[in-house]
Amino acid sequence: MKLSHFDFELPEELLALHPAEHRDESRLMVLNRKEQTIEHKTFKDVINYFDEGDVMMLNNTKVFPARMFGNKEKTGARIEVFLLRELNAENRLWDVLVDPARKIRIGNKLFFGEDDSLVAEVIDNTTSRGRTLRFLYDGSYEAFREKLLELGETPLPKAIKREVEPSDEERYQTIFAKHEGAVAAPTAGLHFSKHLLKRLEIKGVDFAEMTLHVGLGTFSPVEVEDLSKHKMDSEQIVIPAATATKINQAKIEKRKICAVGTTVMRTVESSVSSKQELNAFEGWTNKFIFPPFEFSIANSMITNFHEPKSTLMMQAAAFAGYDFLMDAYKVAIKEGYKFSTYGDAMLII
């Protein structure tokens, strides 16, 4: 398939700037692949599509406040620094993106905080916007990490064109987030409230947790028309042995196994045995899923409505069927569904 197959006109007012007032009250479109039907529901109605013994696979990564603002030494120019990943804890080396990048060269120093309590030196150029920073901080590693948390802000995607608000700290995080390491939230999981999780648990639905630390590569534009030439950035994943056992048992029992989000789908499809079973795994994945694709583990999926030409939309199309998804997106636009990170949800069964 080609990149141009995933282009469509998305009215700007359908890009959600804020989440629904209550997590589980966003809208839900249900796509039935077998019947080729579309239903309009509220997210909490998702409980009606699952039974005792079914499994929901969740990504328990936790977003850290990765966006910081500093000032360049001498000129005082304001520079945005986006923390991507820690390269070396002992030397406080970080892989970052800087904006505006043209002003930031090797040897430059950046000062953070009103009292300049944190300083970073640029020690390498990695990409056009990428730099390696060495943070200079007088204190323990724990105190340094606390300082990063204090100075950082919630890394809302650029598509949300507004300032970060205090409520984002809670709402741009799933309620089952545990392991810090993501610079973007696994958005399908944002629709689950504590109350809905409890109701699913009482019904006998099982949860299988895994981790994919979402990187900025999730939002990187695809720049090649031939999708087979696109390379995803690598992201760290962990599938615990207990999670693999639970999911494989559900497969044997022919239960519904639901991937909550594209990150979960990429995680499980990165570690499938020749017998189509899920293997426990800890490492990295750069799995890119686009149509046509044979899925091995999940037989249902929850995802958001994604932006044109995004890898997230391509994966949803691979699961729902390209034509069916494109029809559903036309319906979504006509019905005023909200798109992107804080938007509405889709359940594909």
CA-derived radius of gyration, the chain: 21
Residue-wise pLDDT tens digits, 279-309: 999 999 999 999 999 999 999 999 999 999 9
Q: Between the CA atoms of 51, 54, 59 and 60, what dihedral angle is there, to the nearest 10 degrees?
A: 80
For residue 130, give both structure tokens.
């990428």
- Return the closest-CA partner of residue 201 out of 18, 321, 55, 37: 55
Count Cβ atoms within 10 A of the Cβ of residue 149 and give its class: 0-12 exposed, 13-18 middle, 19 or more buried. exposed
Which pLDDT does position 278 carry in this prediction?
98
Amino acid (one-letter) located at 79: I
Phi and psi angles of residue 39, each rounded to the nearest 5 degrees, phi first? -120, 155
Q: How far apart are CA 143 and CA 151, in angstroms?
A: 12
* pLDDT value of position 117: 87
**CB distance 44 to 25 below 8 Å:** yes
Asked if residues 268 and 56 have their Cβ atoms less than 8 Å apart, the reply is no
Calculate ∠ Cα 335-155-69, nearest 5°: 140
Residues of the chain with pLDDT under 70: none
Residue 107, phi-psi category: left (phi > 0), alpha (psi -120 to 50), beta (remainder): left
pLDDT of residue 159: 87
Q: Which amino acid is at 102?
A: R
| Residue 150 parent element (H or E) | helix 141-151
- Cα–Cα nearest to 329, from 47, 348, 158, 228: 348
Measured between alpha carbons, how far is 237 from 263 in angstroms, rounded to an integer?
Answer: 10
Distance CA 327, CA 347 (A): 15
Closest CA to 191 of 41, 34, 37, 11: 41
Cross-strand bridge partners of residue 27: 42
As a whole number of angstroms, the distance between CA 220 and CA 39 comes to 31
171's enclosing H/E stretch is: helix 168-171
The per-residue pLDDT for 80 is 94
